[in-house]
Amino acid sequence: MSETIKTDCLIIGAGPVGLFAVFELGILGLDSHVVDNLDKIGGQCAELYPDKPIYDIPALPECTGLSLIENLQKQIKPFNTPFHLNERIDEIINTGDLWKLKTTGNKVFETPNIFIAGGVGSFEPRKPPIENVSKYENKGIQYSIPDKNFYKDKKIIIFGGGDSALDWTVELSKIASHVTLVHRRDEFKAANHTVNLMKQLVKEGQVDLITKNQISDVKGSDRVEKAIIKDNEGNEKIIDCDEILIFYGLKMELGPINDWSLNLNEKQIEVNTENFETNLSGVFAMGDISYYPGKLKLILSGFHEAALAAQKAFIRARPDETLTFRYTTSSSDIQKKLGVK
């Protein structure tokens, strides 16, 4: 096991609220680490609506999901905060005044404060709710590709019509023995260029394209051997394969957070509105994942919640120091932290 990383606050979630929490902690002089299951920073804003306009960020009449995240990253740059992407926090363990956390990448953190800014949960691949599909997961069925060479000379079926499905169809057609792409309609929601490349490959006979069909079941012995697909009228067809790749986008799952003995209200964590602490001392929840009477799932609410939680986090991380309220406008100490000259 790797060495334990000590920090004043471990932030779960690199969405807008986790990012602003870095700022609020930073100007109080607390350092933090951020862990996110996604391969990029920005939570829902970056994953679900990077190009859509947002109109209700105070003093920003209009910005896009992506530009909001870029600006937040600029705002926290002075703090050089480490981000641990592609890692999920699965477990939190109480050790007296401190918390120990483990990531799926086997990193261990020790901290007096955990900020859960986990949105609606971590983004996970959508898996068809079919019994055999779960049975053959990792036995021929995959939702991502860690190493494309694994698919050399294999007979592959790819399900989906978005960027991942199309990119991999084009890429794997170069090394696989055969690729079949199955999608529920004739239109694709992917870059035009890739769609055209795929259509060219279909013309050349390198890729089989089957539209207006969806996955219905899979069959096999030790590993998956056949996919059963059905059209809109319910007519089924069987296709032989060595490997199946499913790209139906991402879904948010509360997942491990369910098992942390937190008081939940449906899919949200109950907090008090004084400092957004949960029923566990030192564990705070903010942003979409927090619940209290009147809660609004808005970015601006999350920013406020992060600011208040940071105050209490300071008291836990620096029990011997006193916290004084200061404005960024006039505090030379804060300005020094921000690198203002």
Ligand X SMILES: Cc1cc2nc3c(=O)[nH]c(=O)nc-3n(C[C@H](O)[C@H](O)[C@H](O)COP(=O)(O)OP(=O)(O)OC[C@H]3O[C@@H](n4cnc5c(N)ncnc54)[C@H](O)[C@@H]3O)c2cc1C
- Interface residues with ligand X (CB under 6 A) are 12-18, 35-38, 43-45, 48-49, 52, 54, 56, 88-89, 117-123, 256-257, 287-288, 297-300, 302
Rounded CA gap, 82 and 11, in Å? 11
The site for another protein, by CB under 8 A, has a size of 23
Q: Is 56 in the site for another protein (CB under 8 A)?
A: no
Alpha-carbon dihedral angle through residues 183, 185, 191, 196, given to the nearest 10 degrees? 90
Which option in another protein, ligand X, none does residue 214 bind, with CB closer than 5 to 8 A by kind?
A: another protein
Q: Is 255 in the site for another protein (CB under 8 A)?
A: no
Which option in ligand X, another protein, none does residue 182 bind, with CB closer than 5 to 8 A by kind?
A: none
Distance of CA 235 to the CA centre of its chain: 36
From the CB of 168, what's the least distance to ligand X, in Å?
A: 22
Helix or strand or coil: residue 165?
A: helix
From the CB of 45, what's the least distance to ligand X, in Å?
A: 5
Q: Which residue has the closest beta carbon to ligand X? A: 119
Which option in another protein, ligand X, none does residue 89 bind, with CB closer than 5 to 8 A by kind?
A: ligand X
Q: Which residues 19-48 are close enough to bind another protein by CB under 8 A?
A: 44, 48
- Interhelix angle for 192-203 vs 163-172, to 10°? 40
Q: Quick one: residue 315, left, alpha or beta (phi over 0 = left, psi -120 to 50 = alpha)?
A: alpha
From the CB of 13, what's the least distance to another protein, in Å?
A: 16
Q: Are 284 and 260 in contact (CB under 8 A)?
A: no
Count Cβ neighbours within 10 Å for each residue of 127-152 and write b for 16 or more, e otherwise. Answer: ebeeebbeebeeebbbbebeeeeebe
Q: Is 232 in the site for another protein (CB under 8 A)?
A: yes
Q: Is 339 in the site for another protein (CB under 8 A)?
A: no
> DSSP code of 253?
E
Q: Are 145 and 168 in contact (CB under 8 A)?
A: yes
Whose Cβ is closer to ligand X: residue 56's or residue 321's?
56
Length of the chain: 341
Binding mask 161-190 for another protein (x = CB under 8 A): xx--------------------xxx-x-x-
Which option in another protein, ligand X, none does residue 249 bind, with CB closer than 5 to 8 A by kind?
A: another protein
| CA-to-CA separations, 282 to 101, 114, 317, 318, 321, in angstroms, rounded | 13, 6, 10, 13, 17
Whose Cβ is closer to ligand X: residue 112's or residue 119's?
119
Q: Which residues 58-97 are close enough to bind another protein by CB under 8 A?
A: none
Whose Cβ is closer to another protein: residue 56's or residue 91's?
56
Alpha-carbon radius of gyration of the chain = 23
Footprint of another protein on this chain (CB under 8 A)?
44, 48-49, 120, 126-129, 160-162, 183-185, 187, 189, 214, 232, 248-249, 251-252, 297
